[in-house]
Structure 1
Amino acid sequence: MGIKVKLGLGAVVGIVVIGAVSANGSNNGDSGSGDNGKDTSAAQHESGKKADTKKGGTADKAAKKVAFEGDGDFQVGSDIKPGTYRTTGNTDGMCYWARAKDASGEMDSLIANDNVSGTSYVTVKASDKLFQTKDCEDWEAVDAKASGSPATRMKGDGGMYRVGADIAPGTYKSSGNADDSCYWERDKDASHSMNSIVANNNVSGTAVVTIGAGDAYFKTAGCGDWKKTG
């Protein structure tokens, strides 16, 4: 069982250790879609995905059903409602978010945080006081039940995929990984707590993982692209 290092707000993500450690440095705390057989990412799953940055026009934001923007501090209950949200299309790990129990800005206020490439899903709880987001694409609300036409391939650096909506459950293979740079994680929810992790690993060479139908999310970072083999 690995130990998770707590990051300061806006900090760069630390290296993941094999064991119950979240990818990309999520901190300890409470707990798209494509045609089958085609390369996809949760970013491609987005209907009406804008070609420009999050600073695009009103029509782009309307198409995305934006819940709140990708930069700012939001008070839970007044600025944003509790629920699960998604940001997609982020590059180079520059997107940063944090759930906090107060607005002190101190380390002890952090519930969970992450640096994101690709897509991230986050469940903001009613007990959270503040949600911080910086350099992320706009956030949209996610329905409680997964739906869609899940794909059988996914990008190895695509971030988080929702099982049953973005990707189908099953056994997947990723090849050509070097220096333990490939990290995968099976999750039972999007709280990004230690308790949400079902299993995880750092991999060199070929990675094989079975994503269960009972898994809620699959996270992948720094891996070769994944293909369903069974």
Structure 2
Amino acid sequence: MTGSRRCHAIASLCAVAVVGGPVPQAGADPIDPIPGSGFFLVGPDISPGLYRTDGTASVFGVWINDVPTQDSMCLWFTYSTPDANKDNVVSTNISMGPMYANINSTVKAFESRNCAPWVRVP
């Protein structure tokens, strides 16, 4: 956290004004494998590349009329901006089984829901 300190001499009180949010650790390595659920920024959190998951992380699936419910499936999104605004989705997929996500250098963020961990494909 960065901040500035201002002290009042008469009352011996100090106040810290916070400027910005938490400071990321310098030199932190990108996550690999990527956890199956979460929102990740490309660059500081994860590296660009081709990733594979074994599919859903659900222990059991719920099916209605021979169709699995969304909560039973693995779902992912890539974004052209560093936020989860669905207007900026580049690509997405949903599946019960194994699948790939190509997180190329133009992608700014990756979101995964209810998936087994994502492993980078060499």
Q: What percentage of residue pairs aligned between the two structures are identical?
A: 23
Superposed displacement of residue 142, structure 1: 7.0
Note if contact 2:41-2:82 (Cα within 8 Å) is conserved in structure 1. Answer: no
- CA distance in structure 1 between the aligned counterparts of 2:82 and 2:33, rounded to whole angstroms: 21
Aligned counterpart, 2:7: none
Aligned counterpart, 1:200: 92
Q: What amino acid maps onto 1:154 in structure 2?
A: I
Aligned counterpart, 1:224: 116
- CA distance in structure 2 between the aligned counterparts of 1:215 and 1:169, rounded to whole angstroms: 8
- CA distance in structure 2 between the aligned counterparts of 1:215 and 1:142, rounded to whole angstroms: 23
Aligned counterpart, 2:14: none
| Higher Rg | 2
Q: 1:154 to 1:191 in 2, by over 3 A?
A: closer
Indicate the RMSD between aligned Cα atoms, in angstroms.
Answer: 2.9
Aligned counterpart, 1:169: 48
Aligned: 1:156 with 2:48: no
Q: 1:142 to 1:161 in 2, by over 3 A?
A: farther
Paired residues for 1:95-134 under 5 Å: none
User: Which deviations, in whole Å up to 9, do the C-alpha atoms of 1:85-114 show, x marking residues without a partner?
Assistant: 9xxxxxxxxxxxxxxxxxxxxxxxxxxxxx
Structure 1 residue matching 2:87: 3-state secondary structure: helix
- CA distance in structure 2 between the aligned counterparts of 1:202 and 1:218, rounded to whole angstroms: 14
TM-score scaled by length of structure 2: 0.62
- CA distance in structure 1 between the aligned counterparts of 2:90 and 2:23, rounded to whole angstroms: 22
Aligned counterpart, 1:58: none
Q: What amino acid maps onto 2:51 in structure 1?
A: Y
Note if contact 2:78-2:89 (Cα within 8 Å) is conserved in structure 1. Answer: yes
Q: What amino acid maps onto 2:40 in structure 1?
A: Y
Question: Any stretches of 5+ residues in structure 1 without a counterpart?
Answer: 1-64, 67-80, 86-139
Note if contact 1:190-1:196 (Cα within 8 Å) is conserved in structure 2. Answer: no
Q: Report how many residues are paired.
A: 93
Q: 1:216 to 1:142 in 2, by over 3 A?
A: farther
TM-score scaled by length of structure 1: 0.35
Q: Which has the higher contact order (CA 8 A, sep 6+)?
A: 2
User: Which deviations, in whole Å up to 9, do the C-alpha atoms of 1:22-77 show, x marking residues without a partner?
Assistant: xxxxxxxxxxxxxxxxxxxxxxxxxxxxxxxxxxxxxxxxxxx39xxxxxxxxxxx
Structure 2 residue matching 1:210: 3-state secondary structure: strand
Note if contact 2:36-2:117 (Cα within 8 Å) is conserved in structure 1. Answer: yes
